[in-house]
């Protein structure tokens, strides 16, 4: 949502943007091109690269800076990613390890450099093929994972099986969580249900949602 200039004076806006710029490390285009050498482009759009796997195996995620004065200008998505990664790790949720956060002014981009979370996404597991019994087991594990997130006050608006990772030790973790919010209390039933709208709206993923258990905050099959 755009921030109205009626409520935020020019001096306050300038000060806030300066604070943001100072908090981000500066990356020159020359340094960026050197980092990009030998990288694999994993995601891109009409504006350019979005996600790169660098030659050393680490990841670089690029966020396009918009000219409009918005919350994204005052609190860039790259910084949100880093903040959320730290908060999730503190909550014992497996996540990628952030290495650095940069501002690349020449390309109007903010970047987050991180080591990827080891494992495979649930979506990749589905594509590889799951037996009905395996799917029921994974679905129950996902339900317990989501209930745990909600109990810890974690509201992940973009939650879907493509950003839930099964780690080598069998735990569930998260990726792509720039729009995640963490409340200092467990989520109520309304937010628990609302958090599942994205998955329920994806035809191929709706049957992964045990909505009664998630809203009630209980283990799958435990009853009302």
Q: What is the CATH number of the domain that holds 136?
A: 1.10.510.10
Last residue of a domain, one of 115, 150, 169: 115
Q: Is residue 18 domain-shared with residue 104, that is, in the same domain?
A: yes
Q: Does 2 fall in a domain?
A: no
- Mean pLDDT (the chain) is 86
Q: Does 3 fall in a domain?
A: no
What's the pLDDT score for residue 221?
A: 72
Q: Does 63 fall in a domain?
A: yes
- Whether the pLDDT of residue 28 is over 70: the answer is yes
Q: Is residue 108 domain-shared with residue 17, that is, in the same domain?
A: yes
Q: How many domains does the chain have?
A: 2
Give the pTM: 0.82
What's the pLDDT score for residue 193?
A: 96
pLDDT in tens, 123-162: 999 999 999 999 999 999 999 999 999 999 999 988 999 9
Q: Does 89 fall in a domain?
A: yes
Compute the distance between CA of residue 142 and CA of residue 29 in angstroms, rounded to an integer: 41
Q: Is residue 49 domain-shared with residue 94, that is, in the same domain?
A: yes
Q: Is residue 14 domain-shared with residue 68, that is, in the same domain?
A: yes
What's the pLDDT score for residue 161?
A: 94
What's the pLDDT score for residue 25?
A: 84
Q: Is residue 194 domain-shared with residue 209, that is, in the same domain?
A: yes
Q: Does 73 fall in a domain?
A: yes
Q: Does 165 fall in a domain?
A: yes
Q: Helices then strands (H, E): number in the chain?
A: 9, 11
The parent domain of residue 170 ranges over: 120-216
| Residue of higher predicted confidence among 146 and 223 | 146
Q: What is the mean pLDDT of residues 33-49?
A: 91
Q: Does 184 fall in a domain?
A: yes
Tokens 């209980």: give the residue.
218
Q: What is the mean pLDDT of residues 106-117?
A: 92
Q: What is the mean pLDDT of residues 175-190?
A: 93
pLDDT in tens, 44-71: 888 888 999 999 999 999 998 766 555 5
Compute the distance between CA of residue 10 and CA of residue 37 in angstroms, rounded to an integer: 40
Q: Is residue 128 domain-shared with residue 178, that is, in the same domain?
A: yes
Q: What is the mean pLDDT of residues 15-24?
A: 47
CATH code of the domain in which 41 resides: 3.30.200.20
Compute the distance between CA of residue 51 and CA of residue 138 in angstroms, rounded to an integer: 28
Q: What is the mean pLDDT of residues 191-212?
A: 94
What's the pLDDT score for residue 13?
A: 37
Q: Is residue 105 domain-shared with residue 51, that is, in the same domain?
A: yes
pLDDT bracket for residue 23 (50, 70, 90): low
Judging by beta carbons within 10 Å of its beta carbon (0-12, 13-18, 19+), is residue 218 exposed, middle or buried? middle
What's the pLDDT score for residue 156?
A: 93
Q: Does 154 fall in a domain?
A: yes
What's the pLDDT score for residue 54?
A: 95
Compute the distance between CA of residue 101 and CA of residue 79 in angstroms, rounded to an integer: 7
Alpha-carbon distances of 141 from 40, 57, 182, 219, rounded to whole Å? 32, 29, 21, 9
What's the pLDDT score for residue 224?
A: 57
- The answer to whether 85 touches 74, Cβ cutoff 8 Å, is no
DSSP state for residue 96 in the 8-state scheme:
P
DSSP state for residue 76 in the 8-state scheme:
-
Which helix (DSSP H) or strand (DSSP E) does residue 144 occupy?
helix 132-151
What's the pLDDT score for residue 77?
A: 86
pLDDT in tens, 208-221: 999 999 999 988 87
What's the pLDDT score for residue 4?
A: 38
Q: Is residue 173 domain-shared with residue 100, that is, in the same domain?
A: no
Angle among Cα 207, 153, 215 to the nearest 5 degrees reads 35
């Amino acid at each position: 949502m755009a921030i109205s200039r009626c409520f935020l004076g020019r001096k306050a806006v300038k000060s806030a943007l300066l604070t943001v710029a100072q908090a981000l490390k500066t990356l020159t285009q020359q340094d960026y091109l050197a980092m990009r050498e030998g990288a694999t482009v994993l995601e891109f759009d009409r504006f350019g690269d979005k996600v790169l796997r660098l030659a050393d195996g680490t990841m670089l995620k690029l966020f396009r800076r918009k000219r409009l004065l918005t919350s994204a200008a005052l609190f860039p998505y790259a910084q949100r990613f880093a903040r959320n990664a730290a908060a999730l790790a503190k909550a014992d949720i497996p996540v990628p390890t952030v290495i650095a956060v940069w501002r690349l002014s020449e390309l109007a981009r903010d970047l987050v450099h991180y080591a990827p979370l080891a494992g495979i996404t649930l979506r990749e597991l589905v594509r590889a093929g799951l037996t009905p019994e395996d799917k029921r087991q994974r679905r129950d594990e996902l339900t317990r994972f989501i209930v745990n997130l909600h109990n810890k006050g974690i509201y992940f608006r973009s939650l879907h099986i493509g950003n839930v990772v099964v780690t080598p030790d069998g735990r569930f973790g998260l990726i792509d969580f720039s729009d995640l919010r963490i409340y200092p209390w467990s989520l109520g039933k309304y937010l628990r249900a609302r958090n599942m709208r994205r998955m329920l709206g994806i035809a191929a993923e709706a049957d992964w949602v045990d909505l009664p258990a998630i809203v009630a905050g209980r283990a799958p099959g435990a009853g009302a």
